[in-house]
Amino acid sequence: MTLQDGLQLQIKPDPQAVAEAVAELLLGALQRGAVLGLATGRTMQPVYGALCARINALPDAQRAAVLAGWRSFNLDEYVGLGPHHPQSFAACMNQALAVPLGLSPGQLQLPDGLAVDSAAEAGRYSRLVAAAGGIDLQLLGLGSNGHIGFNEPPCPPDAPCRCLQLSPATRQQNASAFGGQADAVPEQAITLGTRDILAARSVLLVVTGAAKAAILRCSLQDPPCPEVPASWLQNHPRLQVIVDAAAASALQLR
């Protein structure tokens, strides 16, 4: 088993070192005027902390330029949760980025979890991304069942932006944000599809922790298959992967 040609893999000692490396790449992309695709989850919390610190340390004019040019689209949102619900991804993004950086509401776009018609909302969101010219740099975490965004297995490589049912494994994975109660995690979400993710001009997969070591190895080193949605990333021509040593521990490296 080998890693695909062209894949750039960086292995850092710990999650904070991962966060610093990812924040540096995100800042560079923002300074080039990139449209960002953003993710939520525990993996991204130190990343966004490091990004805020870097932006706030810039000279005033550079900082103002980065903030004025900011355009980002999040991968997903829970159906039924709006920005005023603390566990919504919209609230997470407000707390992690919008408030500390002083971004205006429309700069950080997410699917509307409160839309009356979730299927129509998925279509609207997909068109919004397209109207912005698509995503230049897509940041991704990895679900413990191999999902990216909320593309649950099995999932083909060309799944569109849509509303879907979350798997029991994912509701369990995300239960910690809901008082440890998997039943309290919404049953549905709107997510950009694997098609949208693979259409991004470059993709940055970020994975930390020993609990993700086995699924990371499947994602990068087993033949791509619907049972591991992240494995379709192997087909992306510009994939960067930044992981900590614990997450990399099951990779077979030459």
Q: How far is the CB of 65 from ligand GLP (least distance, A)?
A: 28
Residue 39 found at the interface with ligand GLP (CB under 6 A): yes
Strands (E), 97-247: 108-109, 137-140, 162-165, 188-191, 202-207, 239-244
Please report which helix (H) or strand (E) contains residue 45, including its range. helix 44-56
Contact 224, 234 (CB under 8 A): yes
Q: Is 149 exposed, middle or buried (0-12, 13-18, 19+ CB in 10 A)?
A: buried
196 is catalytic: no
Closest CB to ligand GLP among 72 and 174? 174
Count the alpha carbons within 13 Å of 59 in the hemisphere toward its beta carbon. Answer: 2
Choose which of 19, 38, 72, 76 interacts with ligand GLP (CB under 6 A).
Answer: 76
Residue 43 found at the interface with ligand GLP (CB under 6 A): yes
145 is catalytic: yes
Residue 15 found at the interface with ligand GLP (CB under 6 A): no
Which of 20, 77, 121, 152 is an active site residue?
Answer: 152
* CA 112/CA 118 separation, integer angstroms: 8
Residue 150 found at the interface with ligand GLP (CB under 6 A): yes
Please report which helix (H) or strand (E) contains residue 120, including its range. helix 118-131
Indicate the Cα dihedral angle 71, 73, 79, 82, nearest 10°.
-20
Check the CA dihedral 87-228-192-22 and report its sign. positive
Choose which of 47, 75, 81, 200 interacts with ligand GLP (CB under 6 A).
Answer: 75
Closest CB to ligand GLP among 174 and 202? 174
Which of 74, 121, 147, 196 is an active site residue?
Answer: 147
Closest CB to ligand GLP among 109 and 174? 174
Residue 141 found at the interface with ligand GLP (CB under 6 A): yes
- Give the interface size with ligand GLP as a residue count (CB under 6 A): 14
Q: Which stretch binds ligand GLP (CB under 6 A): 19-27, 41-49, 156-164, 195-203?
A: 41-49
151 is catalytic: no
CA neighbor of 170 nearest in space, from 196, 194, 152, 192: 152
152 is catalytic: yes
Which of 74, 94, 145, 151 is an active site residue?
Answer: 145
Residue 149 found at the interface with ligand GLP (CB under 6 A): yes
Contact 154, 227 (CB under 8 A): yes
Closest CB to ligand GLP among 39 and 51? 39
Residue with the CB atom nearest ligand GLP in the bound state: 141
| Burial annotation 76-103 (CB, 10 A radius, 16+ → b, else e) | bbbbebebeeeebbbbbbbebbbebbeb
Choose which of 12, 21, 38, 41 interacts with ligand GLP (CB under 6 A).
Answer: 41
CA neighbor of 148 nearest in space, from 97, 185, 196: 196
Which residue numbers are catalytic?
76, 145, 147, 152
Q: For binding to ligand GLP (CB under 6 A), which residues are involved? A: 39-43, 75-76, 141-143, 149-150, 170, 174
